Amino acid sequence: MSILTGPMRFHLDGQKELTAHKDVLTLPEPDDLYIPLVNGRAACTPTVKEGDAVKVGQQIGEPSDAFWYVPIFSPVSGTVVGIEKRMTSMLKPGDHLHIRNDHKYAKVQSFKKLDYEKATREELLEFVKKAGMAGLGGAGFPTFNKYTKPEGIDLFIINAVECEPYLTADYANSMANAELMREGALALLKLSTAPKGKIAVKEDKKDLIEVLHKQFDGTPIEVAEVPDIYPAGWERTLIYMLTGKRYDRLPAEAGCILNNVSTCIALGNALKNGMPITDKYLTVSGDGVAAPQNVIVPVGTPASEVIKACGGYVGEDCLLIAGGPMMGRTIPNDQFVIGIANNGLTVLQHREEFSVKCLRCGKCTETCPSGLMPVRINQAEKAKDIDTLKKLSIMDCIECGMCTYICPSKLDVTEGVRRAKRYMTLVK
């Protein structure tokens, strides 16, 4: 009954016009690249050592875990300098493979091309695993793991929504590589064993919708337009919008499997051209960078190089965010590198905020996509009221930032929920 619940979503000003229709800049390659050996929970041991020559596409890391299995490949040709510890965009230190670029771009084909239509499901699955495909929507989850034992899947969903403000990387990538997107999408559809699929895109992206129709009309994948709201690109909200179903832990409970559109494009490239993920579409945007635009950068490029190529910083005090402003993290320096799971650098000029007391307006509660009650969570956390916190299902919070966005008193509502989560884990 929508009398008793809020919309659990909200239209944000997406600021997409800053970058959506500008030319994509291919970054002049940096002299030094630092390829992260750890992508989220997928760690690799290097397969090359100091002094080795490497070529584009050559495997340089072998995964150390059977589940978190994402092999990594060199994005440039050059010489391995060694392994260095640097801070990652997860704000944790991690090992990086330092490669000195020889700018020759000598290539090697990483793996054999594959015709997904002719291959068996097992062959296709093995291909996805060995090609280092990971969730390029930002999570970096090993793609093959979603498809090991699909059961009762009746809908395969491609997420081309990109609801995070400022980011247009998926959009630019899709417009430029529509054929590869089709290839990868149909391959994943086959892996999912679903009878049909939907590619979800925001209804205001008229040109992309046209492109999608051209690619997918006549295939089992149909184009599904979704409203321009946040967080339409979140798995749970998207599945609810497309199917009306809610699930507990995995989308498979609702009969769905979901992958990001850039992941499809990467897979398409691997199948058709035998090449792994070496470069990323990245949106550099915000009022803190001189020339906002989409860029194509090799994995391992330091953020400082990217900003330099986009005209440098504006202002003296900025928030350098890895990702978009809603869910991206501010990083206290620009020395971190672009990894396979990064989609954007949002640079915002830092302004002081004037916040007043909570007026219990309930907007946070009405817009929370998980159906939580952030104002009650904040109150209970301040009072250290464990019993109430237990009732408020705080672990369902994905820290999407909607509560802080909508709060008219300009409070740090999301941070209060984070504190509550930390407090709960401590007390338990």
Partner 1 sequence: MKFTFNPSPNYRNEQSTSAIMKDVGLCLLAVDLYAVIYYWAVYGAQYGMRVILLTLAACVSALATDAVFYKVLKKDVVTEMKSSFSLITALIIVLISRINTAYYAVVISTIIAIFFGKLVFGGFGQNIFNPAAFGAAIIMGNFAGSYNADFATGATPTQAAKAFGWMIPNGQFGSFISEYGNLGTMFLGQYTSTIGSTCALLILLCCVYLVWKRDIDWQTPVFYIGTVFVEALVIGLMHGAGLQYALFSVLAGGVIFGGVFMTTDPVTTPVSLPGRVLWAIGAASLTLIIRDKSNLSDGVLFAILLMNMLTPAIDKLFDGNQIKDAAKFRRNVLIGGICCVALTLLVGTSVKSKAEQEASETKESAPASAAAPADSGASKEASFGEALPMSYNFNANKASCELDGKEGDTIRYACEAKGFGLVTNADGDYSLNKAMVVVDAKTGKVTSVNIIEFGDTAGVGDAATSDAALAQFEGKGLDDEVNLVSGATFTTRSIAAMAQAALKTAAEGGE
> What residues make contact with partner 1 under the rule CB under 8 A?
1, 3-6, 8, 10, 12, 165, 246, 313, 316-321, 325-334, 348, 350, 353, 356-363, 365-366, 368, 370-373, 375-376, 388, 391-393, 396, 399-401, 404-410, 412, 414-415, 418
Shortest reach from residue 55's CB to partner 1, in Å: 35
- Residue 419 CB, shortest distance to partner 1, in Å, is 10
Query: What contacts 49, CB < 8 A, 6 or more positions away?
Result: 80
- Rounded to whole angstroms, how far apart are CA atoms 312 and 305? 9
- CA distances 221 to 106, 128, 171, 215, Å, are 37, 20, 18, 10
Q: What sign has the CA pseudo-torsion 18, 22, 28, 33?
A: positive
Closer CB to partner 1, 129 or 202, in the complex: 202
CB of residue 423 to partner 1, shortest distance in Å = 16
Q: How far is the CB of 416 from partner 1 (least distance, A)?
A: 11
- The CA distance from 368 to 151, in Å, is 31
Nearer to partner 1, 6 or 274 (CB): 6
Question: Angle 143-10-408 (CA atoms, 0-180°, nearest 5)?
Answer: 125
What the block records as the tokens of 255 is 């009969």
Q: How far is the CB of 130 from partner 1 (least distance, A)?
A: 34
Is the CB of 195 or the CB of 315 nearer to partner 1?
Answer: 315
Find the shortest distance in angstroms from Cβ 52 to partner 1. 34
Q: How far apart are CA 420 and CA 428, in angstroms?
A: 12
Nearest to 191 by CA among 101, 103, 125: 125
SS3 26: strand
Residue number with CB closer to partner 1 (257 or 348): 348
Phi, psi angles (nearest 5°) of residue 422: -60, -45
Nearer Cβ to partner 1 (105/240): 240
Q: 321 is written with which tokens?
A: 């965010």
Our CB check for partner 1 shows the closer of 30 and 323 to be 323
Q: How far apart are CA 104 and CA 56, in angstroms?
A: 10
**What is the nearest approach in angstroms of partner 1 to the Cβ of residue 95?**
23
Q: Cis check for the bond before 75: say yes or no (omega within 30 of 0).
A: no
3-state secondary structure of 40: coil
Beta sheet of 38-39, edge-to-edge order:
38-39, 42-46, 59-63, 72-73
* 280 in Cβ contact with 340 (< 8 Å): yes
* Rounded Cα–Cα distance for residues 345 and 362 (Å): 32
CA of 227: how far to CAs of 10, 205, 233, 238, in Å?
10, 10, 10, 10
Q: Closer to partner 1 at the Cβ: 264 or 373?
A: 373
Question: Considering Cα of 106, then 109, then 110, then 115, what sign does the dihedral take?
Answer: positive
Question: 347 by DSSP, 3-state: which?
Answer: strand
Least distance to partner 1, CB of residue 379, Å? 9
Distance in Å, CB of 269 to partner 1, minimum:
31
> Distance between CA 404 and CA 412 in Å, rounded?
6
Q: Which is nearer to partner 1, 79 or 304 (CB)?
A: 304
- What is the token pair recorded at 166? 């400022």
Is residue 185 within 8 Å of 177, Cβ to Cβ? no
Shortest gap between Cβ of 5 and partner 1 (angstroms)? Answer: 5
For partner 1, which is the closer residue by CB, 61 or 286? 286
Smallest gap from residue 1 Cβ to partner 1 (A):
6
Number of other CB atoms surrounding residue 40 within 10 Å: 20
